[in-house]
Amino acid sequence: MPESLSQPDYRSQHKRRLSWMPWLYFSLKEKHLSWARPWQEEVQRQFSALETVSIGKHCFIAPEARLFAEPGRDILIGDDCMIAAESFLHGPITLGDEVAINHGCSLDGGRKGIRIGRQTRIANNVTIYAFNHGMAPNAPVYRQAANSCGVVIGEDVWIGAQAGIVDGVTIGHHAVVGMGAIVTKDVPDWAIVAGNPARIIGDRRNKAQV
């Protein structure tokens, strides 16, 4: 083989695969965990050293994720959580156990914070903002004080790709938010919502078992 061609770097490629598809980390065989676990431990140590971040047991945090948490704007991550590449999280944010945040999501907790219940799944490119700018006509928007009510997402919620959730919203347990939906009002337990603005289109309890 010509000297200019190097051997394929399978481990680096596998790390990239895990960063973008972090659920694969939880099914790795021991021979892969022998390098993946120390790699993840170091990634998580760096986040915890640089930011006010608390990370639970058996989590996966992509090194390409962007976590920012000043004192008083903590990020608290439960056990068995996963955060994929190119996601932006700015505290205060609290994740329950087994929460998944897929690639390209953007979460900003404002002053009041974002709370996400256990076993909730958030698909790629979801935006959740727990603050709003003032809109009074006598000053530019960017000069007006931001206000924050907070966002609460219940347990076992599925939020579809490219959905948006605005400040002040509470999403009930077991709800489903459809792809591309913009949620501007509270969502009841078990409700399925879709559209812009999102409206109720169904109930999970009426779905047949697969």
Task: Name the one residue in this structure whose structure tokens are 């779905």.
Answer: 207
pTM of the model: 0.92
CA 4 to the chain's CA centroid: 41
- Is residue 13 very low, low, confident or very high in pLDDT (cuts 50, 70, 90)? very high
- 67-125 pLDDT, tens digit per residue, is 999 999 999 999 999 999 999 999 999 999 999 999 999 999 999 999 999 999 999 99
- What pLDDT is recorded for position 7? 62
Residue type, 130: A
- 145-168 pLDDT, tens digit per residue, is 889 999 999 999 999 999 999 999
- 41-60 pLDDT, tens digit per residue, is 999 999 999 999 999 999 99
Determine which one of 32, 58, 90, 133 is catalytic.
133
User: What is the Cα–Cα distance from 126 to 203, expressed in whole angstroms?
Assistant: 22
- 125-148 pLDDT, tens digit per residue, is 999 999 998 889 999 988 888 899
Return phi, psi of residue 67, to 5°: -110, 125
Based on the residue annotation, tell me whether 133 is a catalytic residue of this protein. Answer: yes
Local structure of 77: helix, strand or coil: strand
